[in-house]
Each structure stands twice: as C-alpha cells, then as structure tokens.
Amino acid sequence: MKGRFGKFGGRYVSEVLMHALIELEEAFEKFYPTDDFRQELDGLFRDYGGRPTPLYRAKKISELVGCKVYLKREDLLCGGSHKLNNSLGQALLAKRMGKTRLITETAAGQHGISAAMAANVVGLDVEVFMGVKDIERQASNVKRIKLLGAKVTPVETGMGVLKDAVSDTLREWATCTRDTHYLMGSTVGPHPFPEIVATFQSVIGKELKAQIMEMEGRLPDAVVACGSGGSNAVGAFRPFVSERDVRLYFVEGGGERLDADNSAAAFSLGKPGVLHGAAMQIMQDEHGQIKPSKTRAAGLNYPGRGPEISHLCDSGRVKPCHAFDKDVFEAVRVMSEKEGLIPALETAHAIAYVLNNGKEFERDEVVVINYSGRGDKDLETIVRYFYGD
C-alpha cells in the first residue's frame, strides 16, 4: 500500500489538509521522473550544493576503532549538512506546482538554512517555524537563516521545541495550502512526505555505494547513521536495504540516561503510535500523550521515528542503538583532535557509537559513518561543555 512501511506510515491528517497531500503526491509522481526535473536537480546538486560529497578514509579513527572507517562527508554539502538534498528537491517541486511560498520547521537550524537557501535559488518566499528553546540554543544558525532572507517565527506552544514547531507548521499549512508548500524537513509526516524526503536524500546512499565500490572494490560491512525522523539515515541506507550482508546501525539520542524524561531514544523507550500525520515509533505515556524528548542535540530532539526507519528497525533490518550525551561530546573531541573535523552534535552520535562499540566491528571490516553535518552551529555548546562559561 502506498505510503505504508509495514504497520507504519499512512496519512492521519484533518480533512482540510487532504487535498494538499493528494496534490503533492500527484505532482511528485508527475514531475520527479521527468528528465527535465532530474537534470535541473542534478545540476543544482553539483554546481550549487557541491555534490558528489567525498568519501573520506578516516585513518586515525580507524586505528582507534580497529577497522576501516570511512566518512561520507555530507558536512561538505553547501550549508553544512545533508539537509540541502531534500530542500532543493522540494523547492523545485513546489515551484513546478505553482506555489509561491515555502513554510518549514527547524530544530538545529540546519534544515531552516537549507530551506532558505533552496527558496532563494528557486525563487520562493520562505517562513521558518522554530521552537523558542531551539532559537536560544542554535543562535548562530538563526542568524544565518535571517541573513538568507527567511522569516523566522518563534514557536511558544508546548515545550518550544521541534515537536511543537512541526505542529504549528501543520496548523499554518492548513490555512494556506493554495499558494504554500510545506517543506517537510525529515522523513516524517503524512504520506507522501516520508517518501519524497527519502527519495531526495537517497542521493547520499547512491553516491556512497559507488564510491566504496571504487575505493574498496566491495560493499561496506556496516553503515552507521544518526537520526530521529531519519532523513540522513534513510538516505544513506536505502540502496543497502536489499544488500542483506550490509549491517545498518541507526543511532538515536540517548540523552543523559535511558529514562523517558531524560532521553530521545524512542526505539528503547517508545511504542507505536500516531503523531504528525503518521503511524510511527513514538515516546509517549501509557495513555498516548506524547512525551517531550530530551537530548543536547537539537536535531535529534524529536519523540517520533519516521515511518520508514520505524519499519526498518521493527523488522530487524536496521539495528537501533543510541549514544549518551557525555559520549557524544567525547566523540566531538576525538574527531576534532584526531581527524581535524568538528562534527555536529547529531553526527557525533554516530561517531560515538562506533568509537564505543569497536568490538562489533572486525579488523578487516569496512564501516561507513554518514558524517551528516559540521559542528560550527554547536560551537558554543561544545566549548561550554568542555571549558565552562
């Protein structure tokens, strides 16, 4: 069934949004397969985004872990993270649909930046909804978004974090679907969003597959990615899902410790439910009220796992795991000192998992970490963690 990933996915929205989702689904099916669309998107990926991003053999990290570790360098994509892949794709689609405005939500700010960039490239207005708490902790990215000409709308409902920003963006969209496209930032939300985002992000996995074949002459033994909604992970995993010998690891935000009030590890602490238009794995209480997640990485601070990653983990194809905040900061330090790369706190979850679980990887194994973003945006948080105020 379309829009279903096992028991997850679907389209749970109010009647006022149904026509917009159907319109979007039809537009995606109509435009995406055309040469015209693909050529324009590939051209932007290459000339504006800087694709293909390199696959880097991290020798020092390899020595530490005891296997061959490669980094898929999405931090080198223009904007500093994988987010632009999806934003360019959806902005092009919105333009072809005749929309004049994009709305979106952001947590770490990376998606807000990429949405503002894509809107400018394509020629659309853009408004970014951002939780007040995230605005505070991702201040430098807020400045970037504003400099790029986007309107930033603070979200004060709920806890003022990503979950609340998604809700408010859905509410806004219900009032303006005629001229506005909701540029969903991750593989979450009602069908067709998870499919659209995964399609545009799967450029990561396609490149990665070709690159590792060229460099190693074989498929990797493992691909590791961080996530909450799952867009960078699903993008990296998709071309490997049918390759049963490739182990796939999804690292979520462990937060401070593994209990429901101090973590974002929905696969350890959640259960299936329906939120923001889709059935997925969600942190919630016994009655079905959604629990606010908690992690130092704003981009992983979402209580739900998108339908596709929910299904991949539920079916056993992907191994869900988590990294705790303290190990994440340590991973930032190690990566900075050993490889000269400052990773985003989100990305550092995947790195922390590999660093701390060397026993899972044999000596001659090839492990690829999807290095989803750079850490400039987290500099203040990181510096404060290591050196105090």
Partner 1 sequence: MEIEEKFRQLKSRGEGAYMPHVYYGDPNEEFSIELIKTLVENGADMLEFGVPFSDPIADGPTFIAACERALRGGMTPTRCIEGVRKLRKAGVDVPIILTTYYNIPYVMGLEKFTKTVKEAGVQGLIIPDLPIEESDELLRFAEKSNIRVIFQVAPTTSDERLEKIVSAASGFLYVVNVEGVTGARESLLESTVNLLKKVRARTDVPLMAGFGISKGEHAAAMVSNGADGVITGSAVAKIYSKNLKSPEKTLQEIAKFAAEMKQACKERNKSSTS
Catalytic residues: 83, 105, 372
Q: How far is the CB of 142 from partner 1 (least distance, A)?
A: 23
Distance (Å, whole) CA 369 – CA 354: 8
Nearer to partner 1, 130 or 279 (CB): 279
Distance (Å, whole) CA 94 – CA 90: 6
Q: Is the dihedral of CA 332, 333, 338, 341 positive or negative?
A: positive
Q: How far is the CB of 310 from partner 1 (least distance, A)?
A: 14
Where are the strands (E) in the chain, listed by range?
Answer: 4-5, 8-9, 55-57, 68-73, 101-106, 125-131, 151-155, 180-182, 222-226, 247-255, 271-275, 278-282, 304-305, 318-324, 366-371
Among 163, 181, 247, 322, binds partner 1 (CB under 8 A): 163
Q: Which of residues 71-130 bind partner 1 (CB under 8 A)?
A: none
By CB under 8 A, is residue 174 in contact with partner 1? yes
Among 118, 275, 354, 366, binds partner 1 (CB under 8 A): 275
How many CA atoms, within 13 angstroms, populate the side-chain half-sphere of residue 124?
Answer: 32
Residues 6+ apart with CB under 8 A from 372: 74, 75, 81, 82, 225, 226, 232, 344, 346, 347, 350
Please identify, among the stretches 43-51, 156-164, 329-337, 374-382, the one whose residues bind partner 1 according to the rule CB under 8 A: 156-164
Among 7, 12, 56, 268, binds partner 1 (CB under 8 A): 12
Nearer to partner 1, 171 or 257 (CB): 171
Please identify, among the stretches 5-13, 53-61, 65-73, 97-105, the one whose residues bind partner 1 according to the rule CB under 8 A: 5-13
By CB under 8 A, is residue 179 in contact with partner 1? no
By CB under 8 A, is residue 276 in contact with partner 1? yes
Please identify, among the stretches 99-107, 162-170, 242-250, 334-342, the one whose residues bind partner 1 according to the rule CB under 8 A: 162-170
Q: Whose CA is closest to 301, among 340, 353, 266? A: 266
Find out whether 239 and 209 touch, Cβ atoms under 8 Å: yes
In the complex, which residues of this chain contact partner 1 (CB under 8 A)?
A: 10-16, 18-20, 22, 157-158, 163-164, 167, 170-171, 174-175, 177-178, 271-277, 279, 282, 284, 286-290
